[in-house]
């Protein structure tokens, strides 16, 4: 057989195999996981198409999935909100895997998914979630959300300390390290916003940094922040350690020169302190 025909045969076989593989993919049974996978990646139309094709799905799961997809085209109109909220409220009444998720989403509906938030109702729902499923992921995430609202949104208490005491109480109930980190980071930043003493702010930032895994520019900012705030609070060794770590771990950041210059000041202050001993 001439060489060219051998090559052609290979190509035809390969094309046939590729076609079969494609056909197999197209015939793949739709699954609930595919629905969730599309929804997780902001593709609600594809998710809905698969959900519509799914057969034999547990009705409560299907109802939740539909509500989740309805919520994915935010912001919701008043009409959409009014249609979804009762569905979630109904789902939240039971005691199965669907209910805590539905209750969490119901709280979110009041907290953030309407133009004028109803923080009081949201808080009631978050607390109910924590009471019925204490320690669950959704309850703990709800406590983080409640904490954020308390840090910034609720009417100013007479004493700012009350605000932070309330959030500390929520933090004490959260055990998942990444959720504790998220709330502690915001407690640190809100502490600066509310002009709390640096000795109150720094431990939260240091705790958040220790958990790691923060997003975007935040880990770099927090390293600089701990270095700078430690300098201002007089913790020179700690300041030096964080600034040095930043320069070591972050090769590309527009603030590296600022940090290098500040580090020189820290080192000079340390040398002066040493000289006074």
Partner 1 sequence: MFTKSTPLNDDREITIRIAHWQIELGPPDGIQAAIDRYMELNPNVEVKQVMVPSTVYRQWMRANFAGNSAPDIVEYGAWLDGLADLPVRYFDPLTEDLMQPNPYNKGTELEGMPWLKTFTDELMEQRLNSPEPGQYYAATLTRGSLRLFVNRDLLKEITGSSERVEDFAGMRRIFKQTAAFSKKEGRKILPLGGSKDNAIWIMGFYAGGVTNKFNRTLDDYGFLGLYPWQTQWKYLNQEWDYQTPGIKAAFKILDELDKQMPLGYMSFLRDDAVRQFMRGEALFIFAGTWEATSLRRLAEFPVDAWRCPQPTTSDPVVGEHMLGHYADGSVSTSFGLYLNKRSPHREVAVDFLRFITSQEGNQLFTDKSGWLPSIKSVSVAPEIASFISPEDGYTYPGGNISVGGGTRSVFQKNLYLLTGPDGSIDDFAAAMDRDMPKAVRSSLAVYERSARWAVLPQDSRVIANGGLRESKPDDPKLLLGQQRLEAAQNLSEARALMIARQLELTADFGQN
| Binders in 132-151 for partner 1, by CB under 8 A | 137-138, 141, 144-145, 148-149, 151
Q: Does 215 bind partner 1 (CB under 8 A)?
A: yes
Q: Quick one: which of 6, 11, 17, 264 contacts partner 1 (CB under 8 A)?
A: 11
Comparison of 128 and 221: residue with beta carbon closer to partner 1? 221
**According to CB under 8 A, which one of 110, 189, 209, 235 is a site residue for partner 1?**
189
Among the listed ranges 22-30, 125-133, 161-169, 186-194, the one in contact with partner 1 (CB under 8 A) is: 186-194
Site for partner 1 in 46-85 (CB under 8 A): 47, 64-65, 68-69, 71-76
- Residues 99-128 binding partner 1 (CB under 8 A) are 101, 104-105, 108, 112-113
Buried b (16+ CB within 10 A) or exposed e, 132-150: ebeebebbbbbbbbbbbbb
CB of 20 to partner 1, least distance (A): 19
Position 33 contacts partner 1 (CB under 8 A):
yes
Q: Which is nearer to partner 1, 175 or 276 (CB)?
A: 175
């Amino acid at each position: 057989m001439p060489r060219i025909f051998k090559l052609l045969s290979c190509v035809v076989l390969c094309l046939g195999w590729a076609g079969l593989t494609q056909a197999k993919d197209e015939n793949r049974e739709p699954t609930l996981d595919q629905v969730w996978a599309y929804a997780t990646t902001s593709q609600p139309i594809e998710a809905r198409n698969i959900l519509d094709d799914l057969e034999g799905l547990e009705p409560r799961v299907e109802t939740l999935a539909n509500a989740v997809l309805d919520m994915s085209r935010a912001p919701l109109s008043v009409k959409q909100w009014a249609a979804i909220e009762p569905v979630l409220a109904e789902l939240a009444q039971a005691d199965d895997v669907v209910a805590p998720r539905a209750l969490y989403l119901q709280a979110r509906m009041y907290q953030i998914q309407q133009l004028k938030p109803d923080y009081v109702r949201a808080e009631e729902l978050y607390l109910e979630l924590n009471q019925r499923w204490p320690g669950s992921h959704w309850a703990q995430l709800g406590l983080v959300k409640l904490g954020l609202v308390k840090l910034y949104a609720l009417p100013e208490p007479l004493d700012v300390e009350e605000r932070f005491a309330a959030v500390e109480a929520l933090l004490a109930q959260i055990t998942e390290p990444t959720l504790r980190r998220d709330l502690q980071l915001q407690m640190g930043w809100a502490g600066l916003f509310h002009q709390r003493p640096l000795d109150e702010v720094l431990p939260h930032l240091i705790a958040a940094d220790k958990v790691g895994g923060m997003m975007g520019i935040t880990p770099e900012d927090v390293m600089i922040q701990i270095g700078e705030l430690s300098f201002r609070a007089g913790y020179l060794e700690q300041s030096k350690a964080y600034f040095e770590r930043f320069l070591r771990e972050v090769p590309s950041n527009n603030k590296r020169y600022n940090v290098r210059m500040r580090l020189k000041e820290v080192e000079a202050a340390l040398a002066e302190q040493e000289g006074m001993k």
